[in-house]
């Protein structure tokens, strides 16, 4: 009831990435066509809605959404009473906006209704005093999702977590709690809202003023206010619309007055619906202003457990409270006309079921069919879409074990699916398109990297953007640490250190790795690995429709009057760019080597950097330059192609092999088998992926078993032969001893070529003959093992060159010499 606050003007200031919203009811036409669109244009892309389940079902039937699950995530809140909070959070890299009010996600809530709304701003540089309130608000979202959103899709939880990642200041520990403002929220596992509020109030207050649109029939909360206040409470209502029992009206415990007396100056003709909920307490020298979603009912304020509403209220004290009172004209109630008669209504605040039609949420993964599991009550249902006239038309599908399967090609993104049985609507299906929503959760760095990676499949890849992204995301490795530092699991609680905008992977997160092992990379390295290892192409290549932008990043407003603009031609690749790519790859490898030489980071990050180099080079090696007479293009690598030049030169592959085996892998530390409960770098998705990519590298370089070198060979030639045999033996033992690593390598090489897969099977088979059948397949070599754990697994020894008591092993990198008595010789 203060002067109107323009959310749109606030959005124009920019700097926000995520928007979290809760609402009791929603109008999808207003949300999608106006509010969502304005936020998208302003750069807010990660949108998440929490809506009361019963009201959501009714809203979907009345005004079906067009983009639910595609342009934003939605979570049905299944509350026994009403899921009633109205909290909106805009979160950005360095700023936040918190709105706690009484308005629902409807046109009337944002426009014509009389509402009370409090806005709190956070700015990391200039206004960080209310950080604790933002943390409490975000925690409330987490609690509500846990208590009421059990049926929500997994992607919803990921989007909520990503909102915190995109606003890393939310994780910081406040210097001091806010002294003048507090956020109160209720849920099924908390004490009642009234008791939570009373901990911040004196035992009694002198005066009480209030505004509410709803009072339950018992009047218990009104009685509580009367007992709490020395003077008779004064409560403003709208006689024509209030839900108020006449018994309470005439009880004499409170004075009800007409809300007209405190109407805003901007609303001279009071014809709107008064939907506000607020309280003012005056006690001695203290002033309190409380506003938010809670009506004056026992469900909202007094009940606990499953009998309570979910609500959110904001408490302002003293100076802030006085400002709020002045802006809302609350003290004008004193001279207001008392209400003696109201249009009595049937009272029903609880979230009653407005439709028998069920609401089903399913997830659609990349390149997969949609699966809808039918409950027993859904048996026989068929899936349908609706056309623009509201008529149903059936979707082609198959049915397997009561699961409807719809091919990805037949799906219409953002459209609802209707399950009909004998022409009767049984359920409505909302599809959460996981790739689409994941894309919307990306930071600007992620979008740029995705654009660069996606461009590799075009004729003119954006190599400059790719290498700029890589250089931007890898300097984090340069922090100095002890030379002997090993992997230490990180925790992600409150910290004063700034987190990167890139996702910091939880050390216990196994969900998104192909190997099934936890990811230990953090920050930019994880992003690069994820983008290459699990690359998700744009939903619509060459378009940013999810952001309401064209391929140049322009929105609809910016495209007005641009029909006659010249169309930019496709860029060309010059010989200079070919050389540029080779130099950049060399630079990455040189930097990688320096990291290992200088001991400038812990083992987990060094290994992740090594894997990053592998995945970048592996992906680039899939393409080659076509050197034509007039231009240079890029195409997928083909056998025996004419006039081509590899993007990845053999010198890069050899350098990568050298770094891998001289700087990282070694027989003394690298285990043969991985203990699944171990807390080291080897029990990680990164190490598993690294073994697979090293397999690919050795195949590309033509490394296979061979006989020991003849005595006529030079020392240098012997080293080359020994090292190749040692590396293949080293690698195959570890693949043979680790099923997850072998499966990962098998998948990677199968994508490369049939020859690559045949090389892997042959190498494994020959290794097994060596290890388990004691067959000397390669003349001149002995197979030895350490008696005392001096190294892991078996190693080759050149028999002809090791006739004395000291034995030099054929190793993958650095030389190892052991006393013959400490070795077991297999043959």
Query: What tens digit of pLDDT does each residue of 349-379 get?
Result: 555 555 688 999 999 998 899 999 999 989 9
Whether 179 shows a pLDDT value over 70: the answer reads no
Name the DSSP class of 152.
S
- CA dihedral (83, 86, 92, 95) positive or negative: negative
Same domain, yes or no: 200 and 65:
yes
Structure confidence at residue 421 (pLDDT)? 94
Residue at 12 is within a domain: yes
The span from the CA of 217 to the CA of 347, in Å, is: 7
Q: Measure Cα distances from 697 to 185, 601, 614, 756 in Å.
A: 56, 25, 9, 10
- For tokens 């190892």, what's the residue? 816
Checking DSSP bridges between strand 234-237 and strand 255-258, what pairing results, if any?
parallel
Exposed/middle/buried for 628, CB within 10 Å: 0-12, 13-18, 19+? Answer: exposed
CATH of the domain at 411: 2.60.40
More confident residue, 2 or 217: 217
Same domain, yes or no: 482 and 400:
no
Same domain, yes or no: 35 and 138:
yes
Same domain, yes or no: 24 and 109:
yes
Q: Measure Cα distances from 575 to 625, 648, 692 in Å.
A: 10, 15, 33
Whether 563 shows a pLDDT value over 70: the answer reads no
Same domain, yes or no: 424 and 467:
no
Nearest to 45 by CA among 664, 548, 491: 548
Structure confidence at residue 485 (pLDDT)? 35
Same domain, yes or no: 216 and 273:
yes
Residue 170's CB: how many other CB atoms inside 10 A? 21
Enumerate long-range contacts of 155-158, CB under 8 Å, 24 or more apart: 155/73, 155/363, 155/432, 155/434, 155/437, 155/438, 156/48, 156/73, 156/74, 156/75, 156/432, 158/438, 158/441
Helices 685-700 and 523-533, packing angle to 10 deg: 60
**Partners of 72 in beta bridges:** 68
Residue at 545 is within a domain: yes
Structure confidence at residue 262 (pLDDT)? 82
Whether 801 shows a pLDDT value over 60: the answer reads yes
Whether 6 shows a pLDDT value over 90: the answer reads no
pLDDT band at 674 (very low <50, low <70, confident <90, very high): confident
pLDDT band at 607 (very low <50, low <70, confident <90, very high): confident
Structure confidence at residue 396 (pLDDT)? 96
Whether 509 shows a pLDDT value over 60: the answer reads no
Whether 111 shows a pLDDT value over 90: the answer reads no
Same domain, yes or no: 120 and 216:
yes
- Rounded to the nearest 10 degrees, how much is the dihedral formed by the CA atoms of 69, 75, 78, 82? -110
Residue at 352 is within a domain: no
Structure confidence at residue 692 (pLDDT)? 95
Residue at 487 is within a domain: yes
Least confident of 104-113, 469-478, 566-575, 740-749: 566-575
Least confident of 32-36, 138-142, 480-484, 742-746: 480-484
Same domain, yes or no: 313 and 461:
no
Structure confidence at residue 257 (pLDDT)? 94
Structure confidence at residue 522 (pLDDT)? 56
Structure confidence at residue 670 (pLDDT)? 87
Residue at 672 is within a domain: no
Whether 4 shows a pLDDT value over 80: the answer reads no
Same domain, yes or no: 506 and 415:
no
pLDDT band at 576 (very low <50, low <70, confident <90, very high): confident
Name the DSSP class of 804.
S
The span from the CA of 514 to the CA of 511, in Å, is: 9
Determine what percent of the chain is predicted with pLDDT higher than 70.
Answer: 83
Same domain, yes or no: 507 and 642:
yes
Per-residue H/E/C for 611-639: HHHHHHHHHHCCEEEEECCCCEEEEECCC
Nearest to 647 by CA among 577, 701, 590, 589: 577
Answer whether 608's CB lies under 8 Å from 693's CB: no
What confidence tens digit (pLDDT) does each residue in 376-405 have? 989 999 999 999 888 999 999 999 999 999
Whether 26 shows a pLDDT value over 70: the answer reads yes
pLDDT band at 151 (very low <50, low <70, confident <90, very high): confident
Residue at 762 is within a domain: yes
Domain end position, chosen among 597, 632, 664: 664
pLDDT band at 516 (very low <50, low <70, confident <90, very high): low
Whether 600 shows a pLDDT value over 70: the answer reads no
Domain end position, chosen among 635, 664, 693: 664
Average pLDDT of the chain, as a whole number: 83
Structure confidence at residue 825 (pLDDT)? 84
Exposed/middle/buried for 427, CB within 10 Å: 0-12, 13-18, 19+? Answer: buried
Same domain, yes or no: 272 and 143:
yes
Whether 774 shows a pLDDT value over 80: the answer reads no
Residue at 289 is within a domain: yes
Whether 502 shows a pLDDT value over 60: the answer reads no
What confidence tens digit (pLDDT) does each residue in 677-725 have? 677 888 888 899 999 999 999 999 999 999 999 999 999 999 999 999 9
**Partners of 26 in beta bridges:** 105
Reduced to 3 states (helix: H, G, I; strand: E, B; else coil), residue 826 is coil
Q: Which residues lie below 8 Å from residue 544, measured CB to CB, with a gap of 6+?
A: 538, 550, 551, 553
Nearest to 286 by CA among 326, 313, 319, 334: 319
Whether 229 shows a pLDDT value over 90: the answer reads yes
What confidence tens digit (pLDDT) does each residue in 184-226 have? 999 888 899 999 999 999 999 999 999 999 998 889 999 999 9
pLDDT band at 572 (very low <50, low <70, confident <90, very high): low
The span from the CA of 761 to the CA of 745, in Å, is: 11
Residue at 565 is within a domain: no
Structure confidence at residue 496 (pLDDT)? 37
Structure confidence at residue 513 (pLDDT)? 57
Cα-to-chain-centroid distance, residue 56: 24
Structure confidence at residue 569 (pLDDT)? 45
Nearest to 518 by CA among 509, 527, 530, 526: 509
Structure confidence at residue 352 (pLDDT)? 52
The span from the CA of 89 to the CA of 97, in Å, is: 6
Residue-wise DSSP of 493-540? SS-SSPPPSS----TT--TT-TTSSPP---HHHHHHHHHHHT----SS
Whether 570 shows a pLDDT value over 60: the answer reads no
What's the whole-number mean pLDDT along residues 631-658? 85
Q: What is the pTM of this model?
A: 0.70
Structure confidence at residue 524 (pLDDT)? 59
Domain end position, chosen among 633, 664, 695: 664
Structure confidence at residue 712 (pLDDT)? 92
Structure confidence at residue 164 (pLDDT)? 92
What confidence tens digit (pLDDT) does each residue in 290-334 have? 999 999 999 999 999 989 999 999 999 999 999 999 988 889 898
Reduced to 3 states (helix: H, G, I; strand: E, B; else coil), residue 815 is coil
More confident residue, 795 or 637: 795
Tokens of 61: 């039937």
The span from the CA of 395 to the CA of 431, in Å, is: 15
The span from the CA of 370 to the CA of 405, in Å, is: 6
Highest mean pLDDT among 373-387, 564-578, 641-655: 373-387
Whether 645 shows a pLDDT value over 80: the answer reads yes
What is the domain range of residue 275?
7-335
Count of alpha carbons within 13 angstroms of residue 675, beta-carbon side:
6
What is the tally of structural domains in the chain?
Answer: 4
What is the H or E stretch that residue 282 is in? strand 278-283
Q: Which residues lie below 8 Å from residue 378, measured CB to CB, with a gap of 6+?
A: 358, 419, 421, 426, 427
What is the H or E stretch that residue 228 is in? helix 220-228
Q: Measure Cα distances from 450 to 5, 344, 469, 736 in Å.
A: 37, 59, 10, 35
Structure confidence at residue 208 (pLDDT)? 96
Same domain, yes or no: 417 and 289:
no
- CA dihedral (270, 271, 272, 274) positive or negative: positive
Residue-wise DSSP of 85-138? --EEEEE-SSEEEEEEES--BSHHHHTTSB--EEEEEEETTTB-TTHHHHHHHH
């Amino acid at each position: 009831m203060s002067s109107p606050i323009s959310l749109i003007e606030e959005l124009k200031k920019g700097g926000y990435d995520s928007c979290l919203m809760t609402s009791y009811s929603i109008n999808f036409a207003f949300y999608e066509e106006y509010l969502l669109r304005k936020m998208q244009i302003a750069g807010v892309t990660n949108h998440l809605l929490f809506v009361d389940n019963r009201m959501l079902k009714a809203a979907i039937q009345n005004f079906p959404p067009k983009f639910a699950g595609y342009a934003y995530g939605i979570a049905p809140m299944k509350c026994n009473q009403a899921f009633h909070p109205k909290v909106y959070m805009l979160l950005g890299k360095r700023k936040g906006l918190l709105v706690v009010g009484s308005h629902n996600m409807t046109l009337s809530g944002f426009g014509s209704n009389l509402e009370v709304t409090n806005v709190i701003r956070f700015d990391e540089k200039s206004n960080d005093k209310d950080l604790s309130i933002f943390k409490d608000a975000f925690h409330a979202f987490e609690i509500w999702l846990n208590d009421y959103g059990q049926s929500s899709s997994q992607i919803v939880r990921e989007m909520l977590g990503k909102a915190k990642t995109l606003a890393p200041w939310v994780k910081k520990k406040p210097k001091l709690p806010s002294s003048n403002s507090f956020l109160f929220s209720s849920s099924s596992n908390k004490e009642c809202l009234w008791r939570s509020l009373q901990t911040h109030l004196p035992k009694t207050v002198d005066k009480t003023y209030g505004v509410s649109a709803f009072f339950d029939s018992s009047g218990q909360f009104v009685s509580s206010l009367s007992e709490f206040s020395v003077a008779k409470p004064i409560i403003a209502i709208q006689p024509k619309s209030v839900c108020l029992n006449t018994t309470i009206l005439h009880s004499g415990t409170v004075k009800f007055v007409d809300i007209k007396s405190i109407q805003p100056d901007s609303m001279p003709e009071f014809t709107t619906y008064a939907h506000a909920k607020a309280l003012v307490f005056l006690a001695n020298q203290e002033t309190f202003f409380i506003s938010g979603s809670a009506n004056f009912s026992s469900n909202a304020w007094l009940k606990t457990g499953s009998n309570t509403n979910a609500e959110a209220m904001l408490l302002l004290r003293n100076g802030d409270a006085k400002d709020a009172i002045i802006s809302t004209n609350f003290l004008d109630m004193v001279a207001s006309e008392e209400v003696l008669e109201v249009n009595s209504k049937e009272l029903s605040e609880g979230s009653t079921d407005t439709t028998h039609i069920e609401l089903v949420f399913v997830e659609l993964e990349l390149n997969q069919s949609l699966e809808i599991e039918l409950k027993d009550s859904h048996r026989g249902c068929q899936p349908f879409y609706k056309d623009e006239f509201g008529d149903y038309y059936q979707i082609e599908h198959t049915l397997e074990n009561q699961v409807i399967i719809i091919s990805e090609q037949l799906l219409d993104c953002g459209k609802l699916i209707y399950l009909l049985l004998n022409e009767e609507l049984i359920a409505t299906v909302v599809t959460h398109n996981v790739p689409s929503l994941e894309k919307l959760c990306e930071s600007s760095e992620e979008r740029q990297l995705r654009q660069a990676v996606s461009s590799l499949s075009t004729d003119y890849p954006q190599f400059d953007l790719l290498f700029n992204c890589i250089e931007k995301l890898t300097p984090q490795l340069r922090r100095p640490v002890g030379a002997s530092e090993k992997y230490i699991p990180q925790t992600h609680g409150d910290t004063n250190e700034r987190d990167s905008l890139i996702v910091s992977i939880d050390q216990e997160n196994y969900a998104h790795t192909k190997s099934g092992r936890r990811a230990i990379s953090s920050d930019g390295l994880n992003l690069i690995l994820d983008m290459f290892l699990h690359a998700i192409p744009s939903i619509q290549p060459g378009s940013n429709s999810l952001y309401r932008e064209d391929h140049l990043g322009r929105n609809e407003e910016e495209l007005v009057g641009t029909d006659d603009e010249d169309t930019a031609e496709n860029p060309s690749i010059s010989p200079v760019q070919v050389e540029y790519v080779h130099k950049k790859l060399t630079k990455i490898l040189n930097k990688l080597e320096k990291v290992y030489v200088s001991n400038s980071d812990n083992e987990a990050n060094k290994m992740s950097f090594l894997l990053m180099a592998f995945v970048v080079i592996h992906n680039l090696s899939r393409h080659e330059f076509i050197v034509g007479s007039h231009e240079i293009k890029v195409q997928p690598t083909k056998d025996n192609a004419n006039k081509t030049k590899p993007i990845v030169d053999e010198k890069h592959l050899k350098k990568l092999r050298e770094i891998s085996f001289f700087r990282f892998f070694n027989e003394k530390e690298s285990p043969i088998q991985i203990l699944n409960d171990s807390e080291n770098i080897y029990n990680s998705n990164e190490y598993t992926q690294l073994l697979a990519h090293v397999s690919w590298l050795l195949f590309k370089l033509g490394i296979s078993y061979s006989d020991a070198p003849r005595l006529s060979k030079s020392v240098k030639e012997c080293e080359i032969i020994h090292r190749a045999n040692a590396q293949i033996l080293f690698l195959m033992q570890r693949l043979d001893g680790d099923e997850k690593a072998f499966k990962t390598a098998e998948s990677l090489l199968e994508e490369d070529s049939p020859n690559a897969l045949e090389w892997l099977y042959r190498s494994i088979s020959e290794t097994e003959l060596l290890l388990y059948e004691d067959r000397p397949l390669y003349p001149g070599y002995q197979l030895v093992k350490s008696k005392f754990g001096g190294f892991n697994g078996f190693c080759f020894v050149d028999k002809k060159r090791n006739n004395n008591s000291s034995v030099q092993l054929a190793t993958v990198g650095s030389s190892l010499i052991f006393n013959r008595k400490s070795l077991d010789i297999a043959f």
